[in-house]
Amino acid sequence: MRRLLRIFKIARVFARYRLDTLFDQINLHWYVRLLIKLMLWRYLIPVGKRSQGARLRLALEELGPVFIKFGQMLSTRRDLLSDDLAQELKKLQDQVPPFESAYSQRLIEQALNAPVEEIFAEFNATPMASASVAQVHEALLYSGEEVVVKVIRPGIEKTIKKDIAVLFTIAQLVEVLWVEGRRLKPVEVVADYENTIFDELDLRKEAANGSQIRRNFENSPILYVPEIYWDLTRQNVLVMERIHGIPVADIDQLKAQNTDMKKLAEQGVEVFFTQVFRDSFFHADMHPGNIFVSRENPSTPQYIAVDFGIVGSLSSEDQNYLARNFLAFFQRDYRQVAQLHIDSGWVPPETNVQSFETAIRSVCEPIFEKPLKDISFGMVLMGLFQTARRFNMEVQPQLVLLQKTLLNIEGLGRQLYPELDLWETGKPYLERWMKERMGPKAVYRSMKQQAPDWLDKMPHLPQMAYEALHQLKNLDDVRRRDMLALSVARQELQQQRSQRGRWLGLICLVAAIGLSVEDPLIMASELPAIGWLLGGVAAMLLLRH
């Protein structure tokens, strides 16, 4: 019943913001287009002056936190949305009223099995920030460290489950009603969102992600990650070191302390490439609200990252193909770009390389009309994905996260230093990584890593070789038995067909005789012709078998 009421509310919001106009330019089945045209509100509720994207954003905000976060995730899917929709969805705000402080304290005490006064020397009951999934309080440990305490919003899991079920229903309808629905896999998009948002409900996962990135950048001059207090962290409570940096979007404050903006922007690019290619583990939610700049040493600035609920990872194959794709693109080797997409399995193996190369060239060549510093890495990646989508490229969740992160980093870097040349900054890193990955040192390093395994398996090689040869011999015996069984089965099937053919022929013959010896009135009609026809069929069946 609740789900039905929720669907009715969605339908009301859908009508109020005239979201039916979103489907006017979409290739829907004819009966769906007819149904939309028959909707009464199309003729009663004016569209107004707002754009389609603005109306969708307002509708999601009215539907609540789960739909807001879904819209935020969709805003990163430039391969699915128009620019207007993507830009509007980026404006979605995730600010919701905090829940009662007393309830927050009770949740912390239940999770940590002790009163707040025993855990913290000071605890500010007024939250620093409040979002749809959790809210954050500042506190002080008895050891003197300032910390923040993140608490999952009570009852949010039930709300999420209810709204996710509705989103799955909508996605299934899209698959059925939209001509291209299956190819764009809306159910998989919702499933990815479900995994992401439920991961955010377990703060131990976020803490583990933060610890991993902190370890990867230990003693790094370019990125600092706050310490996680594992003894005070549970599934619904996370305690982390409090930081006092400058929000990265606060350009005036950064300039006021004489921050080297060029160096800061370039270090952002270095952080991205280091996470993606060195560590294969990257912070995938690097929007300005999660990035700060240290107040120390403004001439050699250092980033501070928080909120590790969403991370991404690439396989070694994806890393390799991605790096080679970027290098091939900036060398304008479109044949190589096309072949790499096929070799990586991102597009089907039967894809025509020449056609794919031509499509990529038509998208990428206009980009090089701009100065190199104005070329957007993120838009290049998005253009490649949109082109590949026309060649049935499968959705690659890890690449979608990467594209989103790259767009965030690039936008942030150019906001800090408009003259940032992302390619000039990133190319040396890519070339150095490729050299380390593919050169003689990399081969030696790989052999050195695998040597213990080889030495461990060497004494067993004769036995393994004997077993392999024995299995091959057994395989021949099995194949011969299978061929004999198949031959016997074919003979039995042929006998069954022959027997059925004889019976059918006999029936046709009897019918032919019966029709041929009827009374003269029938003989004078055309029915005897049917008898002769049946007789002919009978003769053919009997002679054949």
Residues known to be catalytic: 285
Q: Residues near 536 by Cβ (< 8 Å), separated by ≥ 6? A: none
Two tokens, residue 543: 């002679």
**Could you give the CA distance from residue 301 to residue 303 in angstroms, rounded to a whole number?**
7
219 φ, ψ (degrees, to nearest 5) = 60, 20
Residue with tokens 């994905």: 385
Rounded Cα gap, residues 459 and 207, in angstroms: 44
Rounded Cα gap, residues 70 and 286, in angstroms: 17
- Give kind and range of the element (H or E) at residue 293: strand 291-293
Task: Give, in order, the Cα–Cα distances in Å from 90 to each of 50, 136, 454, 499, 505.
Answer: 16, 23, 52, 72, 75
Paired tokens of 129: 């920030």
Q: How long is the chain?
A: 545
Spatial separation of the C-alpha atoms in residues 184 and 182, rounded to whole Å: 6
| Complete DSSP assignment for 108-150 | HHHHHTS-HHHHEEEE-SS-SEE-SSEEEEEEEETTS-EEEEE
User: Do the beta carbons of residue 448 and residue 292 sit within 8 Å?
Assistant: no
Helix (H) or strand (E) holding 152: strand 146-152
Tokens 């990872």: give the residue: 313
> Tokens 């007024």, residue?
126
| Tokens standing for residue 139 | 């506190």
DSSP H helical ranges for 370-460: 377-389, 397-416, 422-438, 440-457
Residue linked to tokens 């890593």: 449
Give the closest residue to 273 by CA, choosing from 481, 425, 490, 99: 425
